[in-house]
Amino acid sequence: VARATPPGEFELIEAFTRALPLVGEGVVLGPGDDAALLQPPLGEELVATVDAVEEGVHFDGRFTPGDVGWKSLAVNLSDLAAMGARPLWALVALGVPTGTPPSRLAGVARGLGACARAHRVTVAGGNVTRAPGLALTVTVFGSVPTGTALRRDGARIGDAVLVSGTLGEAALGLEQGAAPRLARRQRRPEPRLALGQALRGIASAAIDVSDGLVQDLGHLCTASRVGASLRIAELPLSPAYLKATAGRPDPWGPALSGGEDYELCVTVPLARVRDALAAAARVGTPLSVIGTVTRLSGVQVARPDGGHHPVARGHDHLAAVRRLTSRRRAVRRQPTR
Amino acid sequence: VARATPPGEFELIEAFTRALPLVGEGVVLGPGDDAALLQPPLGEELVATVDAVEEGVHFDGRFTPGDVGWKSLAVNLSDLAAMGARPLWALVALGVPTGTPPSRLAGVARGLGACARAHRVTVAGGNVTRAPGLALTVTVFGSVPTGTALRRDGARIGDAVLVSGTLGEAALGLEQGAAPRLARRQRRPEPRLALGQALRGIASAAIDVSDGLVQDLGHLCTASRVGASLRIAELPLSPAYLKATAGRPDPWGPALSGGEDYELCVTVPLARVRDALAAAARVGTPLSVIGTVTRLSGVQVARPDGGHHPVARGHDHLAAVRRLTSRRRAVRRQPTR
């Protein structure tokens, strides 16, 4: 267990940090001390979450180092988007296998830095440790005006269910010979931060689609003690999706159960649906009405002919990340239902 | 890379979370949503840091699961202590190898929960992922009244150097047949939170001793652009330390270079040393004057006969955690010195 500092570690860390934005709004003291000193915006609540990406679990050799860095931050920013938060800061805990070339770490940092700059996030600190496989555990901080966060538990019966962008492409992006657009959705997800903020005060509940639409909407429904009915014909599907799934026995599978699209699924009172669509248009993000919040528990999927579409479970592509959060809520709620 | 949810994961997460304190001051929304919602104390700055403990790097079979859980939080709280911060919240990212028995995770959670309760920390969220070895990456948040944080860069020439508690025991606790007190220092470190807060407004700079006294004081000196001279005869050593090192060629080695004591090393203007000692006495933490801040760069160690004591480098027991933070500061500073 005892070990000396491996040679080259200094260089590894330098290679990693050179590409990161390290100063920004509210950072009183960034990297260089025992901890970061941060000034939260006045009148705002802090929004904080952590997620890890692990070699062999969340990414493999098809991901460039830059993809890994981008995705490690983007999946966290997606959680902030689902809360309606504006991103502020990140802490990056890096696990590095012995013998990792500095160029690989520099590539990871460039991807992470590109995502941080694109979304105005400052890397305020972090740490580096030896690990069996490359791993990035990223903590992100954002903020919302007090009391305005989008939560999972506000959906009401009769609300509309909406989803941003298009579905199922990230899961298809894992398949052999996937089209470049699909592979990019898997490797460089775009968190819907502008949309999340635009829907504060409009949406009644929100969640990001990381484990698959039906599963994540199910979490939202459980938290809100409602159910939902989705209309399969209204799922937003891209031309690339339609091409890739043409002729399959279940062409809707990836859209309903495929993970990692990092779109937002929100519920909106019927009287505010026009406002929601207008807000989405203002920030340039597609938003589609796909269903209704119901009294029944669980998520039902309706075919155009009115029949129920059975939803396969376990299309959990790369979705090893299980939030204590969502699971615990489910655990606590079950005995009381 | 694609994988289905492994059976039993639900139970693992339940086993882990049951032992944790999940509600507390300032937690608007804890586990159960996309992110935690936190209300920072008014008029305070946030202090945030992240550290990981990895199986085979930071702990081995001599650590009970409870030790691992305790230590994963304690090492982070030590960073808050070094900033003078009051702890508030933690996010816990857990990496779990396939086949981990729920009882092991429950043990980790009990140790983590015991440390959290002892120091009034609320676990506000987290996530669980598959990983090659058991790993806990913990992010902690604390706060200080704005402008009062203890930093590394405030030491001035002529200040006294002080250290809390006793040194070198954690490193000796790794040795075969170590006395129970020494093993406990290694496995259940006690962050000096009360002392850190008591020294706000008194200490000119502070750091926690995680990589060894000479190395960490060296970081502080680099950040403050000063040097330090330590008087070897004044290092605080316990009877257990003296017994374990009796007859060794370098009986001071573990005290000077052994890592993971998680004591605080602080600098204090000479006129405030009495105040510092009184503040330490009020919170019941031993504090010893061990040296002086000097103009020379680097840390010198003086023997009672006035000669220089050479300090071995590389006694980096279990100290794989390298903060981006301290390294980056060192990197940036070098060209300008």
pLDDT at A12: 74
The fraction of chain A above a pLDDT of 70, given in percent, is 89
- What was the pLDDT predicted at A306? 86
Two structure tokens written together for B173:
């606790």
* B227 CA to centre of own chain: 22
Q: Looking at the complex, does the CB of residue A184 fall below 8 Å from at least one CB of chain B? A: no
DSSP strands (E only) in chain B: 27-29, 36-38, 44-54, 86-96, 122-130, 135-145, 160-164, 205-208, 227-231, 264-268, 287-294, 298-302, 322-323
Is A326 part of the contact surface with chain B (CB cutoff 8 Å)? yes
**Bigger pLDDT: A310 vs A192:** A192
Mean pLDDT value across residues A63-78 = 97
The answer to whether the CB of A293 falls within 8 A of the CB of A161 is yes
Q: Does the distance separating the beta carbons of B10 and A48 come in below 8 Å?
A: no
Give pLDDT tens digits for A112-167: 999 999 999 999 999 898 898 999 999 999 999 999 999 999 999 999 999 999 99
Q: What percent of chain A has pLDDT over 90?
A: 77
- Asked if B225 has any chain A CB less than 8 Å from its own CB, the reply is no
Backbone angles phi, psi at B7, to 5 degrees: -65, 145
Q: Which residue has the tokens 């006690």?
A: B190
Listed by number, the residues of chain A in 46-75 with a beta carbon closer than 8 Å to a beta carbon of chain B are: 46-52, 54, 56-60
Q: Cβ of B148 under 8 Å from any chain A Cβ?
A: no
Note the pLDDT of residue A4: 40
Q: Would you list the DSSP string of B125-171? A: EEEEEE-SS-EEEEEEEEEEETT----STT--TT-EEEEES-SSHHH
Side-chain half-sphere exposure of A311, counting CA atoms within 13 A: 25
B38 touches chain A (CB under 8 A): yes
Q: How far apart are CA A86 and CA B202, in angstroms?
A: 37
Regarding beta strands B227-231 and B287-294, do their DSSP bridges make them parallel or antiparallel, or are they unpaired?
antiparallel
Contact A133 B137 (CB under 8 A): no
B152 touches chain A (CB under 8 A): yes
Chain B nearest-CA distance from A309, in A, is 21
Interface test with chain B among A10, A28, A33, by most B beta carbons within 10 Å: A33
Q: Which letter does DSSP use for residue A94 in this model?
A: E
Q: What is the mean pLDDT of residues A290-317?
A: 83
Of A79, A129, A146, the CB nearest to B320: A129
Please judge whether B45 and A28 are an interchain contact, meaning their C-beta atoms are less than 8 angstroms apart. yes
Q: Which chain A positions have a beta carbon within 8 Å of B324's beta carbon?
A: 13, 16-17, 31, 92, 94, 125-128
Nearest to A35 among B2, B80, B133 (CB): B80
CB of A218 within 8 A of CB of A299? yes
- Class of residue B57 by CB neighbours under 10 A (exposed 0-12, middle 13-18, buried 19+): buried
Q: How many CB atoms are closer than 10 A to CB A336?
A: 6
What mean pLDDT comes out for the span A212-241?
97
Alpha-carbon gap, residue B20 to A217, rounded angstroms: 27
User: So what's the pLDDT on residue B23?
Assistant: 82
DSSP letter for A75, please. Answer: H
Residue A329 has pLDDT above 90, yes or no: no
For Cα atoms B304, B306, B310, give the angle at the middle one, nearest 5 degrees. Answer: 90
Report ipTM (2 d.p.).
0.88
Closest Cα to residue B80, out of B39, B115, B31, B37?
Answer: B115
Name the CA dihedral angle for B207, B78, B322, A38, rounded to a multiple of 10 degrees. Answer: -80
Q: CB of A266 within 8 A of CB of A195?
A: no
From chain B, pick out residues whose CB is under 8 angstroms from the CB of A106: none
* Residues in chain A closer than 8 A to B325 (CB atoms): 31-36, 125-127
Contact A48 B124 (CB under 8 A): yes
Q: What is the pLDDT of residues B19-57, one digit of tens each?
A: 888 888 899 999 889 999 999 999 999 999 999 999 988
Please tell me the distance from the alpha carbon of residue B14 to that of residue A317, in angstroms, as a whole number: 23
**Cβ atoms within 10 A of the Cβ of B39, count?**
16
Contact predicate A150/A162, CB 8 Å: no
Rounded Cα gap, residues B242 and B250, in angstroms: 12
In whole angstroms, give the CA distance from residue B83 to residue B205: 9
**Quick check: B91 contacting A, CB < 8 Å?**
yes
Q: Report CA torsion sign: B266, B269, B273, B276.
A: negative
pLDDT at residue number B317: 36
Judged by CB atoms closer than 8 Å, whether chains meet at B32 and A137 is answered as no
Chain B closest CA to A18's CA: distance in Å? 9
- B16 touching chain A per CB within 8 A: yes
Residues on chain A touching B319 (C-beta within 8 angstroms): 5
Poorest-confidence range of A55-59, A191-195, A310-314, B79-83? A310-314
**Alpha-carbon distance B305 to nearest alpha carbon in chain A (angstroms):** 31
Asked whether the beta carbons of residue B223 and residue A3 sit closer than 8 angstroms, the reply is no
Averaged pLDDT, B157-170 = 98
Say whether pLDDT at A106 is over 50: yes
Nearest Cα residue in chain A from B79: A34
Return the amino acid letter for B117.
Answer: R
For A157, A230, A286, B68, B131, the CA distances from A306, given in Å and listed in that order, are 20, 11, 26, 54, 43
Helix, coil or strand: residue A249: coil
Question: What is the Cα–Cα distance from A177 to B19, expressed in whole angstroms?
Answer: 46
Query: Could you say which of B1, B57, B317 has the minimum Cβ distance to residue A318?
Result: B1
Chain A residues touching B316 at Cβ < 8 A: 2-5
Give A258-286 pLDDT, tens digit per residue. 999 999 999 999 999 999 999 999 999 99
Which residue of chain A has the CA closest to B14? A328
A 10 A CB-CB count for B5 gives: 15
The answer on pLDDT for A336 being more than 60 is no
Length of chain A, please?
337
Does residue A313 surpass a pLDDT of 80? no
What is the pLDDT averaged over residues A94-110?
A: 92
For residue B33, which residues of chain A lie inside 8 Å, CB to CB?
83, 151-153, 223, 325-326, 329
Size of interface A-B (CB pairs under 8 A): 343
What is the Cα–Cα distance from B122 to B113, expressed in whole angstroms? Answer: 9
Residue A231 tokens read as 């209309």
Q: From CA B12, how far away is CA B131, in angstroms rounded?
A: 14
Any idea how long chain B is?
337
Using an 8 Å CB-CB cutoff, list chain B residues near A51. Answer: 93, 127
Give ∠ CA B311-B314-B315 in degrees, rounded to 5.
80
For B255, the token pair is: 């005290």
**Beta-strand pair A298-302/A227-231:** parallel
Is the minimum CB–CB distance between B224 and chain A shorter than 8 Å? no
H runs (alpha helix) in chain A: 9-17, 65-82, 102-118, 169-172, 180-187, 193-198, 213-224, 239-245, 253-257, 273-283, 324-333
Could you read off the pLDDT of B142-153 as tens digits, one per residue? Answer: 999 999 999 999
- What are the b/e assignments for B307-316, b being 16+ CB within 10 Å? eebebeeebb
Check CB contact of A13 with chain B, cutoff 8 Å: yes
